[in-house]
A and B are shown apart, each in its own frame.
Chain A
Amino acid sequence: MDRAMVTVDNVTRSFNLPKGGTYVALKDINLNIAEGEFISLIGHSGCGKSTLLNLMAGLDQANTGGILMDSRQVTDPGPDRMVVFQNYSLLPWQSVRQNIALAVNNVMRESSQAERHERVEQSIALVGLGHAADKLPAELSGGMKQRVAIARALAIRPRLLLLDEPFGALDALTRGNLQQQLMQICQQAGVTTVMVTHSVDEALLLSDRVVCLTNGPAAGIGQILKVSLPRPRERLEVMEHPDYYRLRGELINFLQQQRRLKQNRQPLSTSLPSPSVRQPASDAVAMAQRTVRIGYLPGLDIAPMAVALDRGFFSDRNIQLIPVVFHRWQQMEEQLRAGDLQLAITSASTPLALTLGLHSQPSWPAITPMTVTRSGNAICLAQRFRDLHVHTLPDLAALLNARDERLRLAVGQKGSMQDLLLRHWLASGGINPDQAVDFQVLSPLAIQSALRNGEIDGFIAGRYRVAKAMETGLGYVLATDLDIWSGHPEKVLTCHQGWAANNELLLLDVCSALIRGGQFCENGGNHDNLVGLLSRPQWLGIDAALALQRQFNLGNAQNTSNLLPLNRYHSDRAHVANSAEGAWILTQFSRWGWNPFPRNRLELLGQVYRNDFCSAALEQEGLAALSPDRYPIELACGGPFDQDEPLSYLEALPFNHNTAIAVTPLPSGAVRRATTTTETPAS
């Protein structure tokens, strides 16, 4: 794509409501439009399409962020960004010619009378209205009025043409003809165009890219669809193109999923009372309701929770958090399903795995409101492989090729983020994990002894365990997540969707406390504190102190920790529950044949990834609630992952299983609310 002519940079637009409070129409919109491109904005009514168009026109101003055109900020309307309004906006007291001349005379002030006259006549001829040039708009049909509006807009040669549902009020026949004309005119004039539309077919026929907006309030860009149909396009030819129905299906699918989401999900912002209204829970009943049992497995990942508990971030918010330690992921999941735990710090892939019911488990509607940590993993092999000169992934591939024996690698949980990263890394080196590797599911606590006893050849785990294996001389690091995906989500907060719906404020406060904890952990100056805290018996234990101390690289240059990436607890949007990352996880589930790729992935991701909690919690803490950008995710091995093109990514992956695509039924207990728990026998 060429350099962007128009850049919509992180635009948020909210309106003050007459009754007080604000309505956020658009939130964090990012979009680049290249010169000559034709973009359609599509989405359900009230999703802020027209608002975005008005912002580009300069008729309205964003609250935060801004719009750049030719590298200059758009601050007011101007004729270089001509708008064709929804209801044409022709002046009823002026004839067709006068209407166009008004625009031309105003914009081409420098030109001679003859030049201006010629431009007017030329524009009238362009839309074929020579015979009606002296008529008043009231004497014209809807289609003719629309043509006048387009002629007026094109007559002044705008750089950017903005069309607000240009064919909305026309009958089907007129609409078809005008679409064709508009397409030809835009193509001849080479004008960059942004069109708001409701019609899927119209969008596909005219656009280079279709930008799908999610439901308001706080609408964002849900998907960007590239329409690579050849130009010049003819309506009938386009419909016969093999790609057409796939693209059409994607768009309709998106709109249907948005409709279902609208029905199923109450937006958080409207259901939350503002902080000033909330009463501090003082009595015992309220206190009991704010008691939360949270499951975890020991590791560096739980540092934010440990800090938040220790420093009273939970009790400040009237939450009694009861941490429950587990040694196997499976056990914790069982307790979570049973409702003994309300929350858990799980692997980043667990919310999706639970919701999909991966590995023949019953499906369970999980959500994740925030990411707790990112990165911090390493792949460790037993010392004897170093003696075999295995230092890189190709070395390992060569070794495995040369011998028949399968490599025995330990993972904490099948389908966990660590498992997915390990498999992805192996596959990128030409090793088929399903054939060349025996995966063993081991408790992270048992890995050390398994390695010592020679029961496994290596493992993937957090830096703390890897460092321990290195220090005892049992293993060495072959790769870290810098070699796979730097900044991947590692541990996330997980809970039941129904519980979250009934305890929105409580969950929000838990997120706030964890964010504060993460902020503390990220600060290098707090590492001493952190070591002291984590070496307490309920977290990592006293013997962890030494290893931790070294890992934080406190004045010991010759230790191994500079090999290992640090966990990310807070910086660079670490807390975001990013559905794009969820989309990558889904491709991996499908790749290894565990689950067909969900055709309704956006609906699934929209249900599971509840970044609205994270944003609200960040805002509650007075921190910038940045939402994830839409750039493709850069993985260190394998190609970049574009969330809008998961299928082509999946097809290009090595060793992928039969990539079936199917509509995944979403767990229906999802929107259970406290008030609607009575069962109806009929269902």
Chain B
Amino acid sequence: MTSLSATSRSKRRPAASWLRSPLANQIKAPVVCIGLTLVLWQFLAQFNSEGFPGPIQVISQTWDPYIINPFFDDGGTSKGLGLQLLISLQRVAVGYSLAAVIGIAAGLAIGLNRFLRRGFDPLIQVLRTVPPLAWLPISLLLFQQADSAAIFVIFITAVWPIVINTAVGINEIPQDYTNVARVLRLRKRSYLGDILMPATAPYVFTGLRIAIGLAWLAIVAAEMLKADGGIGFFIWDAYNAGGDTSTSQIILAIVVIGLVGLALDRLVGAVGTLVAKGGK
């Protein structure tokens, strides 16, 4: 009896062992579910009279040049996905950096000063709910130029969560630490460096992480409306071209946008954890 069960277990082991490895455990569910979704999509696409592509068509139609050669440049606006992405990322980098610097500074001021906090809170609460695209006309009027306008839209969209979270972080500094600072009569600089910054860092990074998502959201929208390059422009361009493969190009671009957005979010999150670990 014992020998029998032992052999049966040892027989099963090779097949079971890789399935139970931690990596496989994590991947198993997404692979199955996404696979099923793709199969369903492919299945449904068969019945579409308009010729909406299934996943297989999407890949086959965009394989050359978009997937295998992301950095081709035919001159003008005809560029590879990689180059388009770089243009978008550049804009995001500028707008988001501006938002981070100004947002943290403004958040500090608002968090430290009760008058400013009370005075600006209603304004911030209203402005932060304005959708990114609503800013675009004003932005174009102000800057007259598509590139600067897009950067401004990114900035104005991303700045609010940073301001709000920084201010909240300062408000939430535990009374204990403030008391320590008061008893020791810490100097302003020491208070900022030793207590205020480390204590608010987690809040600031939460704000930055929300902001990067919003910034990416805004850039695609802005570029679709008014730009001569970038991933948003690519989508709009493909739609306007209306060729056989344009739908597939759009779908490919959407996938790429999603993946890049995810990567950006994870990147900021990782930096936050790193900074918090250095502190906490």
Question: A-side interface residues toward B, CB under 8 Å?
Answer: 57, 59, 76-79, 81-83, 85, 87, 89, 91-94, 102-103, 105-107, 136, 138, 156
Would you call B183 and A59 a contact (CB within 8 A)? yes
Q: Please tell me if the beta carbons of B183 and A83 are within 8 angstroms of each other in the complex.
A: yes
Write out the residue numbers on chain A whose beta carbons fall within 8 Å of the beta carbon of B184.
79, 102-103, 106-107, 156
B contacts with A: majority SS: helix
Tell me the minimal C-beta distance from B179 to chain A in angstroms.
6
At the interface with chain A, which of B113-121, B134-142, B190-198, B223-231? B190-198
A residues in contact with B183, CB < 8 Å: 57, 59, 77-79, 81-83
Whether B186 is near chain A, meaning CB under 8 Å from some CB there, is: yes
Known: A79-B184, A103-B184, A106-B186. Contact between A93 and B179, CB under 8 A? no
Q: Please tell me which one of the listed residues A81, A92, A156 contacts residue B280 in the complex, with CB atoms under 8 A apart.
A: A92
Contact B185 A89 (CB under 8 A): no
Q: How far is the CB of B228 from chain A (nearest CB, A)?
A: 47
B182 touches A102 (CB 8 A): no
Cα A136 to Cα B276 in complex, Å, equals: 13
B195 to chain A, nearest CB (A): 7
* Contact indicator B198/A89 (Cβ below 8 Å): no
The verdict on A87 contacting B176 (CB below 8 Å), with A92-B280, A93-B279 known, is yes
The answer to whether B194 and A94 touch across the interface, beta carbons within 8 angstroms, is: yes
> Is A59 a contact partner of B182 (Cβ separation < 8 A)?
yes
On whether the beta carbons of A93 and B198 are closer than 8 Å, the reply is yes
Known: A91-B194, A102-B190, A102-B194. A79 touches B177 (CB 8 A): no
Report chain A residues within 8 Å CB of B278: 93
> Can you list 25 pairs linking A and B with CB atoms under 8 Å apart?
A57-B183, A59-B182, A77-B179, A77-B182, A77-B183, A77-B185, A78-B183, A79-B184, A81-B183, A82-B183, A83-B179, A85-B176, A87-B176, A89-B176, A89-B179, A89-B180, A91-B198, A93-B279, A94-B194, A102-B194, A105-B190, A106-B185, A106-B190, A107-B184, A138-B280
The 3 closest A-B pairs by CB, nearest first: A93-B279, A89-B176, A93-B198
> Which chain B residue shows the least CB distance to A107?
B184
Closest Cβ of chain A to B109, distance in Å, is 23
- The interface residues of chain B lying within 8 Å CB-to-CB of A59 are 179, 182-183
Residues of A within 8 A of B13 (CB): none
Besides A105-B190, A106-B186, 7 new A-B residue pairs in contact (Cβ under 8 A), listed by A number: A77-B179, A85-B180, A93-B198, A93-B278, A102-B186, A106-B184, A138-B280
CB of B191 to closest CB in A, whole Å: 10
In the assembled complex, which residues on chain A have CB atoms less than 8 Å from the CB atom of B194? 91, 94, 102
User: A545 → chain B, closest Cβ, in Å?
Assistant: 67
With A77-B182, A91-B194, A92-B280 as contacts: A106 and B187 at CB distance below 8 Å: yes
Q: How far is the CA of A105 from the CA of B186 in the complex (A)?
A: 9
With A and B bound together, what is the CA distance between A92 and B278 in angstroms? 11
Establish whether residues B176 and A79, one from each chain, have CB atoms under 8 Å apart when the complex forms.
Answer: no
Residue in B closest to A85 when the chains form the complex, CB atoms = B176
Q: Is B190 in contact with A91, judged by CB distance below 8 angstroms?
A: no
Q: Which residues of chain A come closer than 8 Å to B179, judged between CB atoms?
A: 59, 77, 83, 85, 89
Which residues of A sit under 8 angstroms from B182, Cβ to Cβ?
59, 76-77
Name A91's contact: one of B185, B187, B195 (CB within 8 Å).
B195
Structural contact, A78 and B198, CB atoms closer than 8 A: no
Q: How far is the CA of A498 from the CA of B12 in the complex (A)?
A: 85
Q: How far is the CA of A57 from the CA of B186 in the complex (A)?
A: 15
Shortest distance between the CB of A285 and any CB in chain B (Å): 52
User: Once A and B bind, how many residue pairs between them come within 8 Å at the CB atom?
Assistant: 54
CA distance A548 to B97 in the complex (A): 93
Give CA–CA (A310, B278) in the complex, Å.
Answer: 80
Given contacts A87-B176, A91-B177, A91-B180, contact A79 B185 (CB under 8 A): yes
User: Could you say which residues of chain B place their CB within 8 Å of the CB of A93?
Assistant: 198, 278-280
Among residues of A, the one whose C-beta sits closest to the C-beta of B194 is: A102
Q: Which residues of B contact A77 (CB under 8 A)?
A: 179, 182-183, 185
B interface, CB within 8 angstroms of A: 176-177, 179-180, 182-187, 190, 194-195, 198, 278-280
Residues of B within 8 A of A94 (CB): 194, 198
Chain B residue contacts of A76, Cβ below 8 A: 182
Please, how many angstroms separate the alpha-carbon atoms of A105 and B195 in the complex? 15
Residues from chain B with a CB closer than 8 A to the CB of A78 are: 183, 185
- Output the nearest chain B residue to A162 by Cβ-Cβ distance: B183
Closest residue on chain B to residue A81 by CB atoms: B183
Counting chain B CB atoms within 10 Å of each CB, the highest count among A93, A105, A138 belongs to: A93
Residues of chain A contacted by B186 (CB below 8 angstroms): 102, 106
Q: How far is the CB of A90 from chain B (nearest CB, A)?
A: 8
B278 to chain A, nearest CB (A): 8
Residues of chain B with a CB closer than 8 A to A102's CB: 184, 186, 190, 194
CB distance from B4 to the nearest CB of A (A): 51
Q: How far is the CB of A361 from chain B (nearest CB, A)?
A: 56
Cα–Cα, bound, A553→B228 (Å): 110
CB contacts (< 8 Å) of B177 on chain A: these are 89, 91
Residue of B nearest to A158 (CB): B183
- By beta carbon, the residue of chain B nearest A83 is B183
Enumerate chain B residues within 8 angstroms of A81, measured Cβ to Cβ. Answer: 183
From B277, which residue of chain A is reached at the shortest CB distance? A93
Contacts of A85 in B (CB 8 A): 176, 179-180
Give B193's nearest chain A residue, CB to CB: A102
Q: Which of B184, B187, B195, B198 has the most CB of A within 10 A?
A: B184
A47-B194 Cα distance, complex, nearest whole Å: 35
B180 contacts which chain A residues (CB < 8 A)?
A: 85, 89, 91
Min Cβ gap A63→B in Å is 20
Residues of A within 8 A of B187 (CB): 106
Residue of A nearest to B176 (CB): A89
Find the A residue at minimum CB distance from B195: A91
CA A356 – CA B12 in complex, angstroms? 89
Chain A residue with the shortest CB-CB distance to B279: A93
| A85 CA to B278 CA, complexed, in Å | 25
Which chain A residue shows the least CB distance to B180?
A: A89
**A156 CA to B195 CA in the complex, in Å?**
19
User: Which of B180, B182, B187 lies at the interface centre, i.e. has the most chain A CB atoms within 10 A of its CB?
Assistant: B180
Residues of A within 8 A of B198 (CB): 91, 93-94
Select from chain B the residue with minimum beta-carbon distance to A92.
B280
Please report the C-alpha to C-alpha distance between residue A673 and residue B81 in the assembled complex, in whole angstroms.
86
Give the distance in Å from the alpha carbon of A634 to the alpha carbon of B194 in the complex: 55
A87 to B279, CA, bound (A): 20
Docked pose: A288 CA to B184 CA in angstroms: 63
Complex CA–CA separation, A85 to B184 (angstroms)? 13
Residue of A85, A102, A136 ringed by the most chain B CB atoms within 10 A? A102
User: How far does the Cβ of B272 sit from chain A's closest Cβ, in whole Å?
Assistant: 14
Determine the residue in chain B with the shortest Cβ distance to A94.
Answer: B194
In the bound assembly, the distance between CA atoms of A102 and B181 in angstroms comes to 10
C-alpha spacing A94/B180, complex, angstroms: 14
With a CB–CB cut-off of 8 A, which chain B residues contact A91?
177, 180, 194-195, 198
- Chain B neighbourhood of A82, CB < 8 A: 183
A133 to chain B, nearest CB (A): 18
Cα of A85 to Cα of B182 in the assembled complex, Å: 13
Q: How far is the CA of A102 from the CA of B194 in the complex (A)?
A: 8
Q: Which residues of A contact B190 (CB under 8 A)?
A: 102, 105-106
Q: Which residue of B lies closest to A136 (CB)?
A: B280
Measured CA separation A77–B183 after assembly (Å): 5
Q: How far is B182's CA from A77's CA once the two chains are assembled, in angstroms?
A: 6
